Structure 1
Amino acid sequence: MTEDEPRIVVGVDGSPGSRAALRWALRYAEQSSGRVIALIACGYPALIDVVLPMSEGDVAAEARRELRKAVEETAASLGAKVPVEQTVVRDHAARALLDEAQEADLLVVGSRGRGGFAGVLLGSVGQHCVLHAPCPVVIVRHADG
């Protein structure tokens, strides 16, 4: 990899919207000879101890498994040969994506992730990224169906 390769950061949470964003990022990286950094954030949801008691290590391990699964399945479905750096961050999604995007040429996120309300076109993470990112942001809408 060289410094001239576009650096494409994509948010992944396992949702259909994030899978669509990952597909878009992989296709774009192939066309632009870019490199992809797939990031999953695993900040604690407010009620995780009540709903699903897990240690911090368990939460990070589950996030790592989810990210690896999403990247492997998505790349295989496209036949993509783009190398993907997989990053697990212990933080809230918007903050983690914005931090990673500091050195990026492009930030790609799905229109809605796991916390989306039905009918909402842009989730809170995507909206925050659009308003505060230091680079261009692509919001990829997942076709429900």
Structure 2
Amino acid sequence: MGTAHPGNAPVVAGVDGSERALAAVRWAALTAAHEHAPLELVHAAGYPDLYVGAATPPSQALQQRLRERGEESLSAAERLAEESAGVRARTRLEADSPVPLLLRASEAARMVVLGTSGRGGFVGLLLGSTTVALATHAHCPVVAVHGDPPETGPVVVGVDGSGLSERATRHAFEQASLRGAELVAVHTWSDADTDVVFSAARMQFEWEPMEDAERRVLAERLAGWQAEFPDVVVRKVVARDRPRHQLLEWSERARLLVVGSRGRGGFRGLLLGSTSQALIHHASCPVMVVRPEHGYPDGGGG
């Protein structure tokens, strides 16, 4: 069972010729095949950011070399998509910088897929700044692919009770259903979460009841989705821990990790939640960051 995407929206993958980007293309192609969706490969042939602010623009010869390199990268990615998933991709090369190009592409995409590091362009800037920028501002989920992604293991979702977590849970159920995978729903709490409600003395005696209460919260959050996706086997994990610790550990055995761009404890002004940023950079499997459907009420990012 899947979510309706008007006009069968494409899976979009950023291409820059690096090995990490090709790994992302392969994951995107397999996902497009699972979802019976089109695959679009995009490359930004605009001059690198190192030229921004320079006294003179790059020469025509350099611009031509960048365009030729982009065409070569797209051709290689196109072949990989067909070989790995039997998907015939459409390609798109534009004389623009990566972030503006991908933000525009995200308006009509079901997801945007990127490698997490590479030699330049989409994935090489400031340890994933392009990925973070997309996860902060894109109009659809953004997937950060790390290395050669696994094709086995569960889909893991972080559940914290927020509205954005609810959207992430829906995407996680959908992905688990499409892939025939188990879904692991991870819910955590810590001393920092509970000090404001319970005194230290009271907490000493009430950890077990508190854990029971947290389990009830998780079960309630999942009940409706389990009814909608009866084919998905769900494992519920409740832990007294920080979200990033639990989710990073689960990423070592997962095929996909799904989180909201900002969780319950986030501050309105932050561009991207600290947990989401940590997972983008350090998780051992692909990470899907889910954005709010209509942005944040205060206009801030995730």
| TM-score normalised to structure 1 length | 0.85
Q: Which amino acid aligns with 1:24?
A: H
Show the counterpart of 2:176.
29
Q: Does 1:72 align with 2:219?
A: no
In 2, Cα distance between equivalents of 1:106 and 1:67: 20
Note the C-alpha offset of 1:5. Answer: 5.0
Q: Does 1:93 align with 2:243?
A: yes
In 1, Cα distance between equivalents of 2:159 and 2:264: 10
Note the C-alpha offset of 1:50. Answer: 4.1
Q: Is the 8 A contact 2:153 2:253 kept in 1?
A: no
Q: Which runs of 5+ in 2 are unaligned?
A: 1-150, 298-302
| Percent identity of equivalent pairs | 39
Q: 1:134 to 1:52 in 2, by over 3 A?
A: same
Show the counterpart of 1:127.
277
The CA RMSD over aligned residues, in Å, is: 1.9
In 1, Cα distance between equivalents of 2:287 and 2:159: 15
Q: 1:65 to 1:93 in 2, by over 3 A?
A: same
Q: Is the 8 A contact 1:43 1:93 kept in 2?
A: no
Note the C-alpha offset of 1:56. Answer: 1.6
Q: Does 1:115 align with 2:271?
A: no
Note the C-alpha offset of 1:58. Answer: 2.8
Q: 1:75 to 1:119 in 2, by over 3 A?
A: farther
In 2, Cα distance between equivalents of 1:43 and 1:74: 26
Note the C-alpha offset of 1:73. Answer: 2.4
Q: Which amino acid aligns with 1:80?
A: F
In 1, Cα distance between equivalents of 2:260 and 2:155: 14
Show the counterpart of 2:197.
51
In 2, Cα distance between equivalents of 1:132 and 1:32: 24
Q: Which runs of 5+ in 1 are unaligned?
A: none
SS in 2 for 1:122: coil
Note the C-alpha offset of 1:122. Answer: 1.9
Note the C-alpha offset of 1:136. Answer: 0.8
Cα deviation 1:95-123 (Å, max 9, x = unaligned): 01111221111111011111112253421
Q: Which runs of 4+ in 1 moved over 6 A?
A: none
Cα deviation 1:64-115 (Å, max 9, x = unaligned): 1111011102333xx2111111111121110011112211111110111111
In 2, Cα distance between equivalents of 1:99 and 1:40: 13
Q: Which amino acid aligns with 2:178?
A: Q
Q: Does 1:106 align with 2:256?
A: yes
Note the C-alpha offset of 1:6. Answer: 4.3
- Greater relative contact order structure (CA < 8 Å, 6+ sep): 1
In 2, Cα distance between equivalents of 1:137 and 1:120: 20
In 1, Cα distance between equivalents of 2:272 and 2:210: 26
In 1, Cα distance between equivalents of 2:167 and 2:153: 20
SS in 1 for 2:156: strand
